[in-house]
Structure 1
Amino acid sequence: MNPRKLHHAWVVAAAVFVVLLCAAGVRATPSVFIVPLEREFGWSRTLVSGAVSLNLVLYGLVGPFAAAIMQRFGIRRTMLVSLVVIAVGVALTNLMNTPWQLFAFWGVLVGLGTGTTAMVLGATVVHRWFVARRGLVMGLLTASTATGQLIFLPILAAMVERHGWRSVSLGIAAVVALVVPLVALVVRDRPSDVGLRPYGARPGEEEQVAPTTNPLVNALATLGRASRSRDFWLLAGSFFICGATTNGLVGTHLVPACMDHGIPEVRAAGLLAVMGVFDLVGTTTSGWLSDRYDNRWLLFWYYGLRGLALLYLPAAFGMSLLGLPVFAVFYGLDWIATVPPTVRLTTQTLGSTDGPIAFGWIVAAHQVGAGAGALSAGVIRTNLATYTPAWVVAGAICMAAALLVLRIGRGAPRASMAAEST
């Protein structure tokens, strides 16, 4: 192989980046649909938040099974099926006019489809195709999941305002469908499929063999082994809080909260786009840092700073000029920077074999937290006519998470932790 030729691992990573970007754009859509659905159908914010919550929970719960399915049937096949499910689910929302259809199409179909093209996909690709630069690549792929979600929001908001939410749902479905040929063309399951070893692999280093066990059994067996580890519960608990305070709360409710304060929908979505730009910087940098520094302390700072940002947010709404932009920049840098250190700590504490599937269960906890955050904030807004208690509680639990993560790996052999971080 020509050493100057681009390793196919980077081509696969680029294709997965595009897939995650598109899936993130799909997940961004409920933020700009909430108010139009309220106006057209008279549905309460609690009802719409319930469908979003179901989407987020299924998005997470499918993760460990998706990781096991990828191990058994391959990354490429799994991605193709999930993209088709997403496209069909989003297209069908154009036909809905009753609450059960909202829950079935957006909650179930889109939730299951996007859950397969999620953080577990990035973790599986990084683990299988890379030995060197794992933290950096995971940072880039993770950034795409949040950056896409946030950057697409102003475009979606403007389209909803100009053309209505139904035409937007058809447009999104078409974009997802266009990604299918890209995946079929360039993505391969393993480096050996194209006659290569993983990027950065040492001579003679063996590639892991695909398991032949039932994916359902494999996922549940991994959960059984992981659940006996205190570190698994610390990682899952902190990631639950991460999901509740990002996708669930801010990702779902910041736009309608801004509208409550008289800020137009497109301008409010622009704030989330600013977060997306800075998230790309913050999460990529986090991946670089996770290759070099103690990941527990990185998480301590990420959760602590996020908590301060959320406690500042109620005051930011009352500031005339810089309040919300300052929040958007600061919070954006920290939006999902927690993922690369969490992935590394999962592998360090639970092993390279169980790591990808165990991380799928940890992502499930993240999305259960996201669902709880989305639903509880909707209930608070419906009953109290304000989001302020939701922001304050979210800030407080982030502070608690900052302390929890320092307990991860306590009592683990220092040598193994150090070896994994190199």
Structure 2
Amino acid sequence: MTSTVPSSRLLSPRPGRRPPRVHPAWWAAAVAFVALVGAAGFRAAPGVLIDPLHEEFGWSRGSISAAVSVNLVLYGLTAPFATALMERYGVRRVVCGALVLISAGSGLTVFMNSQWQLLLCWGVLVGLGSGSMAMAFAGTIATRWFEARRGLVTGILTAGSAAGNLVFLPLVALLAEGPGWRAAAVAVALSALAVVPVVIWRLRDRPEDLGVLPYGAGPAYETPAPPPPGAARRTLAVLRDASRGGAFWLLAGTFAICGASTNGLIGTHFVPGAHDHGMPVPVAASLLAVIGIFDLAGTVASGWLTDRYDARRLLAVYYGLRGLSLLLLPSLLAESVHPPMLLFVIFYGLDWVATVPPTLALCREHFGADGGVVFGWVLASHQLGAAAVAYGAGAIRDATGSYDLAWSSAGVLCVAAAVLVMVIRRAPALPGRMTAAA
């Protein structure tokens, strides 16, 4: 359903004012990127802080990982509702609220002295805040502001979270090793809070708010009508309709494996796993930051490729190579950094969230106008997979004294995902309509 606002009215500049040299869509993308960087600080914290919390409070790694799991579950379950809330109440309001929750959840940990407080801060507050942003936020900005270059923009914005790891991981590790984990938690809280004024100042909900068309929109473009009341009801209705087709379950299942092998396993347990082999924590954290560096390039490249090639084949390559690299990881961990480990880090960085642009493209292809909300539900499965492995890998470490079984199991799952994505059928070209192709 669309409104009748003609594109010519949006294209007409005010008298005496020149058209902007840079389309406002790129400014919206830039502010969204900064917001994603600021919100990503917490994602750098758990892997670095597991050992300090274990040493100070005596909590098991499994119980600390449980707080990360709660965070990831709420992250995933919040995402589809956040997408609908952004449509109903505006991107700026939702994003500012999310940043405040992340800041509060990280900052309040300095006062905790029991595990339920860790679950509340790390799990509930940060989970709800981070779930309202990240990949669902990136998809909303790309869909609203861009008709052309959507895949590329999705890749750039998705890389914002990786850039957050790049910025914060070494800092969080050094603070945890020096002043202590509380200083690291405060730094993460301040970083999220500092982005709020930038969002209020520069981010607008839609290009129509500035009197322009989305980037790449032609003369036939018509402004979408406001969504009907009942954001939560619509979100659940979209899930009901999408779940009737096999494409949804294949996308959700493979993206759950993606989350398990990234946020759940490597993002949470790579640093303590490398430390088990004698590698200093700051060195291991720096390797994880290098993954963030190469993720920037890999995700942007994946967005560019998604605009040109079959998204299913791209996903099959990404998952297959990721699985093989995880199967090799137990033999690569050592006290010091060596060339094979660097090769693993570079590859895993290029592949980290390269899966997002083609997965989002398939959601749009199969579910049309509901693709953004469907992607929110697919993202929920991503975080459920991450939550299961974040806890499971910690429990494996407590039970066996090693992460080897966790690495190899995730590798097998990724190889299975490479096969499953090719089962998804290509959807017919029915813009704005949901299909049940699978």
Per the normalisation by structure 1, the TM-score is 0.96
Q: 1:93 aligns with which of 80, 87, 109?
A: 109
SS in 2 for 1:354: helix
- The answer for the alignment partner of 1:80 in structure 2 is 96
Answering whether residue 23 of structure 2 is matched by residue 30 of structure 1, we say no
Q: Judging changes above 3 Å, is the alpha-carbon distance between structure 1 residues 273 and 22 closer, same or farther for their aligned structure 2 residues?
A: same
| Partner of residue 339, structure 1 | 356
The answer to whether the 8 A contact 2:144-2:206 is kept is yes
Shift, 1:318, TM fit: 4.6
Q: Percent identity?
A: 54
Q: Secondary structure at the match of 1:127?
A: helix
| Structure 2 length-normalised TM | 0.92
Q: In structure 2, give the amino acid aligned to 1:7.
A: H
State the Cα deviation string for residues 24-82 of structure 1 (Å, max 9, x = none): 22122111110000010000000000000110111111000000100110101111111
Letter in 1 for 2:370: D
- The residue type equivalent to 1:387 in the other structure is Y
Aligned letter for 1:77?
R
Q: Which one is further off, 19-28 or 252-261?
A: 19-28
CA distance in 1, matches of 2:269, 2:335: 19
Q: Which moved more, 1:334-343 or 1:203-212?
A: 203-212
Q: Report if the CA contact (8 A) 1:17-1:141 is conserved.
A: yes
Q: How does 1:194-209 map to 2 (within 5 A)?
A: 194-209=210-225
Map residues 8-407 of structure 1 onto 2, 5 A cutoff. 8-318=24-334, 321-351=338-368, 353-407=369-423
Q: Distance in 2 between matches of 1:32 and 1:288?
A: 33
The structural deviation recorded for 1:325 is 1.2
The one-letter amino acid paired with 2:277 is H
Structure 2: runs of 5 or more not aligned: 1-12, 432-438
Measured at CA, do residues 406 and 260 of structure 1 come closer, stay the same or move farther in structure 2, by a change above 3 Å?
Answer: same
Structure with the higher fraction of residues in helix conformation: 1
The 2-side partners of 1:174 and 1:4 are apart by 33
CA distance in 2, matches of 1:289, 1:153: 29
- CA RMSD across the alignment: 1.6
Matched letter for residue 59 of structure 1: Y
Alignment: residue pair count: 416
8 Å contact kept, 1:54–1:107: yes
Asked if the contact 1:150–1:276 (Cα under 8 Å) also holds between the matched residues in 2, the reply is yes
AA matched with 1:333: L
Cα displacement (A) at 1:326: 1.4
1:305-357 alpha-carbon deviations (Å, 9 max, x no partner): 10011011011115962232111011111011000000000000111x21111
Q: Distance in 1 between matches of 2:116 and 2:174?
A: 27
Separation in structure 1 between the aligned mates of residue 191 and residue 335 of structure 2, nearest angstrom: 38
CA distance in 1, matches of 2:357, 2:61: 33
Shift of 1:363: 0.2
